[in-house]
Every structure is written in structure tokens, then in C-alpha cells.
Amino acid sequence: MIVVVGSALILDGRGEEALALSLDHVRRSRAEPGCMSHFVHHDAENPRRLVFVEEWQDLPALQMHFQVPESRKFAKALASLCDGRPSMQVYESETVDPFRQSDHTR
């Protein structure tokens, strides 16, 4: 599974516009092949910061998402509403059981 975590610090007075744009983007993205989840949240400590969390089935699905014209349009539009450059980190991950016994238990 691929996990994407991103954030954008929104310019003063542009928060509602940025959130509406972001909600349209995540709702559309959820319908794409390979999208397992896609969310946008407000940072509880800084309401000007939007935080994005996405889960994709695999890297090819995410790469296809980046090629969708609406995704590219969203990225440019959001960047124009930001104070600084938005950030994005992409991780390859697997689900684990946090309660299973490990080899390193005492």
C-alpha cells in the first residue's frame, strides 16, 4: 500500500476557497482506480494548515492519479492559495498488528 501525507499553509482569507477546492479534489479522487482513501483535514494547532492523507493500492495507481488532468489543475490552484510551497511525502507501507508478539519481547 502507498500512503501519501501532505500539507498546505493557506493564505489568510483564502481558507474557505482552499477547503472547498480540496473537498472537490478528495471526493473525485476517491472514485479513481486504486484509491483506498483520500481525506483533507484542518490542523488542530494551525487552522490555516490543511492536511491530506491518502491510501493507494499501489504505486502505479498513485502515478495514474498524478496524470489525471483534474489532479494537476487542483495542485496548481491550491498552490496559488498557499503561503509557501505545499509539502507531500509518499510512503510504501504494510498493515501490521500492533498487538502481535514480536521476536524481541522480553
31 in any annotated domain: yes
User: How does pLDDT run along the chain (106 residues), one tens digit per residue?
Assistant: 999 999 999 999 999 999 999 999 999 999 999 999 999 999 999 999 999 999 999 999 999 999 999 999 999 999 999 999 999 999 999 988 989 887 665 5
For residues 103 and 81, give the distance between their C-alpha atoms in angstroms, rounded to a whole number.
49
For residues 39 and 97, give the distance between their C-alpha atoms in angstroms, rounded to a whole number.
23
The tens digit of pLDDT for each residue in 86-98 reads 999 999 999 889 8
Total domains in the chain come to: 1
What contacts 79, CB < 8 A, 6 or more positions away? 8, 85, 86
CATH code for the domain in which residue 26 is found: 3.30.70.100
For residues 39 and 88, give the distance between their C-alpha atoms in angstroms, rounded to a whole number.
14
77 in any annotated domain: yes
Contact 19, 50 (CB under 8 A): yes
What residues make up the domain containing 51? Answer: 2-92
63 in any annotated domain: yes
102 in any annotated domain: no
37 in any annotated domain: yes
88 in any annotated domain: yes
